[in-house]
Structure 1
Amino acid sequence: MGMRYIEPNDDNSTRYTMLVRIETDSGLVGWGEGIAMWPEAVKAAAALIDGGLTALVIGKDPLDTELHWQVMKEHVWWYGGDGGIASFAISAIDMALWDIKGKALQQPLYKLFGGKMLNKLHANASIHVKYFEHQKNADEIKGYIDEGYQSVKVGFGKKGTAKLGLTEEYDMAFVKAVRCAIGPKVGFMVDIGHKVKWDVAHAIRMTKQFAEYGIDWIEEPFEPNQLADFARLKQATGCLLASGERESTVEAYSRLIRTGLIDIVGIDPARSDGITGFLKVLTLVADAKIKFNTHAWSTALTTAASVHLSISSPHCIIMELKPLPSSMQHELVYNPIVQQDGWVLPIEGPGLGVEVDEEAVRKYRFC
């Protein structure tokens, strides 16, 4: 089912995602998400589920998550072998099956992943600033730190009147204003993203200047496939680099991690072929002895899955949260996930551990 909602953390833009509800013959209900983002992509992913993938799991044992994942991956070999729309569909079904599995076994998901490796997660405010004036943005960010967040990650090239990513002078004035506002010890990361088009020379120059203000890492300074540019930037600056949130398959993550260029891998359980795919990527992360963080910037379902996955691995570096209350976090479920004194605590309820308000689902459903 497609969801349409206003996102206050993205300058009140309209955003879209896809949810799946699976009910067993014993009455257990599992929920999952595929973060397809655009309305046409949501409809396409839903069509794959309705027209093909549903038949693969109907009447089967929902606890056989690995088997169902393998069957779905094999089914989409022609149109989804490298990810794309098929990965959103698989992610949603797989997440819902894991939710059912945890509920059937009366265990929170992190216990099914091997148990806690971390007792709590570093809470990061992941934001898109919206004002042209640097001080307004800096004051807003300082407010989140005052609420308890331990770090902030700022997306460049987003909606609103902020013009981050376009000129050197503007960007440096912003970074300086934020660092002055939050102090020297608070974590500060920059996510360059798709709409900002840096060349290598500009990226090197900006990264060196960012280092003077204690930027912890740079995320996606180039398009993910521009690996030669990542290599040149890393060689010239030594800066920690993050990428991965736009990958979908275990094979794609394997290729990325094997380059040795990425220090922090972004993984989204609503995109990376679900929780099962995510767990396979975590094995690659552990083997490479690098860090990861979850790209959990959609609904409370994906946030919950991300908390369970992150708690179960010693390689999680931060837990991203939207700092402003939003409908898909605070209306969709009765028990939204929030930071407490700078930390995100384990979720102890069975399955995903969040209780969906089906009236909210009906309210925001568009297809």
Structure 2
Amino acid sequence: MRITGMTPYVLRWPEPNDFGHDRMTVLLAVDTDAGLRGWGEAIAMWPEACRATVAVIADGFAPLLRGRDASDTQGCWDAMKAQSWWYGEGGIATLALSAVDMALWDLKARDRGVPLVHLWGARHEALPACASLHVNQPTIEDSVRDIAAHFAAGFRSAKLGLGKKGLSRAGRDPDYDVALVKALRAAIGLDGGIMVDAGNGTVWDLKTAIRTVDRMAEYDIAWIEEPFHPSRVADHVALKKAVPVPLAAGEREWQAAGYRRWIETGAIDVFGLDPARIEGVTGFRLAADAVEKAGATVNAHAWSTAVLTGASLHLSLASPSAQLFELKPLAGPMQFDLVDEPFWHEDGLVRAPARPGHGAEPKMATIEKYRVG
């Protein structure tokens, strides 16, 4: 099964889970002389980053790997690392490598006729579904109504993204944020899980973070995510010592080495891993291994298309440290139009499909509808 070509697709679509704002990504099809096609994704996000990712794939990795055995995922990964040694320790080259590696693992499982998770062995039959959402309604009451509806529809937990574009003050007023968590806990009762993702749009100093998270702890939040910019390592360490709430971080890391550095700080309990960013499926497995050995939690950051969802789900089911799986709760084109059989939960549990590979087969009609490059 030799690699014969790679075709990248830059997509732009309105995301209902992000208040209708446009989002972008790069999907990648890798073809072989066996007639099989595998799919990967680089979550490049911005127009210039998407164009640069395409350039690295088209001018660098595609000619490098043409004619190589597509099932030799480690050999291809090593070759891409060697090719990009000068410019690939994070950033655009890492995004490009992620897309290629993901597609190759998809091909490897398709060639063997098995779901991707079977290549490693499943540690979970299913994982509880978490509604991964952005808080963007104008009032707390409106937001709680919407979020509670996801619990009523079967989700076991919800992750509240603060500081997002939209109508809400969430992430910009700590008192508002605490009141939101309090009202949601009252609405859903004691059983539902609540995670708070402060995110890039929320800017807290250390004192504000300690005070806010400590107040949220009264309402039993499962973790606080990205409370500071990743560069503020000392503040993460101080917050960890000051509050009784687990800390989550990692979605903006690039490689396993970055996760090992975070592990050494002792500050992080839940590590977000994105295989469309951290050197693909191979990179995810390397990072997850370090997280698992540290006794921390692996949590897939899979907030893009169904291709990323499929790969992330199989990786999560193979990790003994995964506790849940995040899904976008509102139907959007990259989850429900891109593939014939969308990934979803049943009775609050997410299972991998029995289809070979990661289970996401994009429809070319949808790709062409949203293709911008």
When normalised by structure 1's length, the TM-score is 0.98
Is the 8 Å Cα contact of residues 259 and 291 (structure 2) preserved in structure 1? no
Does 2:14 align with 1:14? no
3-state DSSP of counterpart to 2:323: strand
Structure 1 CA distance, aligned partners of 2:282 and 2:175? Answer: 44
Match of 1:32 in 2: 40
Is the 8 Å Cα contact of residues 308 and 347 (structure 1) preserved in structure 2? no
Is the 8 Å Cα contact of residues 130 and 137 (structure 1) preserved in structure 2? yes
3-state DSSP of counterpart to 1:77: coil
Match of 2:276 in 1: 270
Structure 2 CA distance, aligned partners of 1:234 and 1:286? Answer: 19
| Alignment deviations for residues 305-335 of structure 1 (CA, whole Å, 9 cap, x no partner) | 0110011111001100000001011111111
Match of 1:72 in 2: 80
Is the 8 Å Cα contact of residues 248 and 268 (structure 2) preserved in structure 1? yes
1:68-147 correspondence to structure 2 within 5 Å: 68-81=76-89, 83-113=90-120, 115-147=121-153
3-state DSSP of counterpart to 2:23: strand
Unaligned 5+ segments in structure 2 are 1-8
Is the 8 Å Cα contact of residues 6 and 15 (structure 1) preserved in structure 2? yes
3-state DSSP of counterpart to 1:140: helix
Structure 1 CA distance, aligned partners of 2:77 and 2:149? Answer: 42
Does 2:298 align with 1:297? no
Identity fraction in percent:
46
Structure 1 CA distance, aligned partners of 2:169 and 2:64? Answer: 47
Match of 1:56 in 2: 64
CA RMSD of aligned residues (A): 0.9
| Alignment deviations for residues 273-312 of structure 1 (CA, whole Å, 9 cap, x no partner) | 0000001111101210111110000000010001100111
| Alignment deviations for residues 14-69 of structure 1 (CA, whole Å, 9 cap, x no partner) | 00000100110111000100000111111110011111111111111000000111
Instruction: Return 161-170 or 222-231, whichever deviates more.
Output: 161-170
3-state DSSP of counterpart to 2:101: helix
1:285-324 correspondence to structure 2 within 5 Å: 285-324=291-330
Is the 8 Å Cα contact of residues 300 and 312 (structure 2) preserved in structure 1? yes
State the aligned residue count.
365
Opposite residue 100 of structure 1, the aligned amino acid is: L
Structure 1 CA distance, aligned partners of 2:361 and 2:76? Answer: 24
Is the 8 Å Cα contact of residues 307 and 347 (structure 1) preserved in structure 2? no
> Cα offset for 1:223?
0.8
1:183-262 correspondence to structure 2 within 5 Å: 183-262=189-268
Structure 2 CA distance, aligned partners of 1:56 and 1:202? Answer: 50
Structure 2 CA distance, aligned partners of 1:103 and 1:47? Answer: 27
| Alignment deviations for residues 334-366 of structure 1 (CA, whole Å, 9 cap, x no partner) | 111001111001221111122221111111110
Opposite residue 36 of structure 1, the aligned amino acid is: A
| Aligned equivalent of 1:5, options 10, 13, 27 | 13
